A = this chain, B = another copy of it.
Amino acid sequence: MNARMEQRNAGVAPAIATHYEQVRQHSVALAAPLSDEDCCAQSMPDASPIKWHLAHTTWFFETFILERFELNYQPHHPVFRVLFNSYYNGVGDKHARAQRGLLTRPSLAAVHDYRRDVDARLLEVLAQPMKAEQFAQLATLVGLGLQHEQQHQELMLTDVQHLLSCNPLMPAYREAPLRVRSSPAPMQWHSFDAGIVEIGHDGEGFCFDNELPRHRQFVEPYQLASRLVTNGEYLAFIEAGGYRDPSLWLSEGWDWVKREGLEHPLYWRQTEDGWCVFGLHGLQSLDVNAAATQISYFEADAYARWAGARLPTEAEWEHAARQGKGLQQLFGECWQWTSSSYAAYPGFQTAEGALGEYNGKFMANQYVLRGSSCATPEGHARVSYRNFFPATARWQFMGVRLAR
């Protein structure tokens, strides 16, 4: 290694380290309002305990960075490799997903120790002199690990909301709402012409593999709503019998509505004082001006059909978002369902090894959401970002932007 290489690393490494510490600290801060018990429980197989999120994001750095870059690497605890593996078959065995809530050991305190140990070791690795090529690999992996941790930061909030919603005491995660919402302007339709558009990440900054390659799609002329569907609008759908009319629903969605006996969104509650919504700040009266959220694909699609509209494709959404044109609530409110099934872009390549399992293997029977939500960490959103969930998922901050 020559001196120049070391110099360059020395210039970048501190910035990476600072960013690393900020992102890592944010996870700890998100867990701070919660008790050890809150952090251990798992309310459904799709959600994970907060403690597990704290450990798994650490496992990611240990497994994919320390194991590769640390001299004389020794695991923090050999069993953690299995306990905190989420879905990477390439890494080996995994603790059963539905049993994460039974891991009362290691304790929350021990998981915080685990975080501190890995953090210290990772910062040491970052500070080591190494060849530029190797450092570039390291920096890329650290960047991926931090994006990964930010994804889990959003899940920490949605998972804890789900857990607390199962408790008849209806406890609040914290007092104040995440964001103050203002009254929306009247909904308007913005028009876009037909033509070949380019979608996918355009090469600057970080992106996940599923945002690549940037490629061409043809879109027919379309219109997009200027803002998201509000609670008040969604309430009109309910009151018009939306949950009782099969002609509004996809067949599989209707079977699901009947089987589960659904009559309203996940966190809506009909009380003596009218409609309320359970959120991170407890049970609150329904805000008719706020964007309707935590709504499944099947509900979003039925609402759109009832409203004489449809959901946008992801090409339409991304093309419009890149143009701006006065569209509101693209980011920071709630993720927006598209009608696009989650699939590989033409020429999509997965990484070698276990990291290739990050995104590609989930490309079946899920739908893409675009934008970002009130729970998305600052700096994590992108216009080319592809979030994805099954059509019945509804515990995330998911809402509806209409198209036609």
Task: Using CB atoms and an 8 Å cutoff, list the residues of chain A in contact with chain B.
Answer: 35-41, 43, 51, 79, 82-83, 87, 89-90, 95, 99, 101-108, 163-164, 166-169, 171, 194, 196, 215-220, 222, 246-247, 249-254, 297-298, 301, 310, 339-341, 343-344, 346-347, 356-357, 361-365, 391
Assuming the contacts A41-B102, A87-B251, A361-B249, asked whether A347 and B220 have C-beta atoms less than 8 A apart, the reply is yes
Question: In whole angstroms, what is the CA distance A340 to B339 when docked?
Answer: 13
Question: In whole angstroms, what is the CA distance A361 to B250 when docked?
Answer: 4
Contact, CB under 8 Å: A99 / B166: yes
> A279 CB to closest chain B CB, in angstroms?
16
Contact, CB under 8 Å: B364 / A253: yes
Residue of B nearest to A248 (CB): B361
Assuming the contacts A166-B99, A166-B102, A252-B365, asked whether A108 and B37 have C-beta atoms less than 8 A apart, the reply is yes
* Given A37-B37, A102-B167, A106-B169: 14 more A-B contacts, CB < 8 Å: A35-B36, A37-B51, A37-B108, A38-B104, A40-B104, A83-B169, A87-B251, A104-B164, A194-B216, A216-B218, A217-B218, A247-B357, A251-B357, A301-B364
Contact, CB under 8 Å: A168 / B251: no
State the number of copies, please.
4
Contact of A101 among B101, B254, B347 (CB under 8 A): B101
Contact, CB under 8 Å: B168 / A79: yes
> A402 CB to closest chain B CB, in angstroms?
15
Assuming the contacts A362-B250, A363-B250, asked whether A104 and B220 have C-beta atoms less than 8 A apart, the reply is no
Contact, CB under 8 Å: A104 / B35: yes
6 residue pairs of the A-B complex, CB under 8 angstroms, read A36-B37, A37-B105, A87-B251, A194-B216, A217-B217, A217-B218
> A302 CB to closest chain B CB, in angstroms?
11
User: Which 8 residue pairs are nearest across A and B when measured between Cβ atoms?
Assistant: A341-B341, A218-B218, A89-B246, A37-B104, A37-B40, A251-B361, A220-B346, A38-B104
Question: In whole angstroms, what is the CA distance A222 to B251 when docked?
Answer: 34
Contact of A365 among B79, B169, B247, B391 (CB under 8 A): B391
Residue of B nearest to A246 (CB): B89
Question: In whole angstroms, what is the CA distance A339 to B341 when docked?
Answer: 10
Question: In whole angstroms, what is the CA distance A344 to B403 when docked?
Answer: 14
Contact, CB under 8 Å: A167 / B361: no
Contact, CB under 8 Å: A339 / B343: yes
Chain B residues near A171 (CB-CB < 8 A): 105
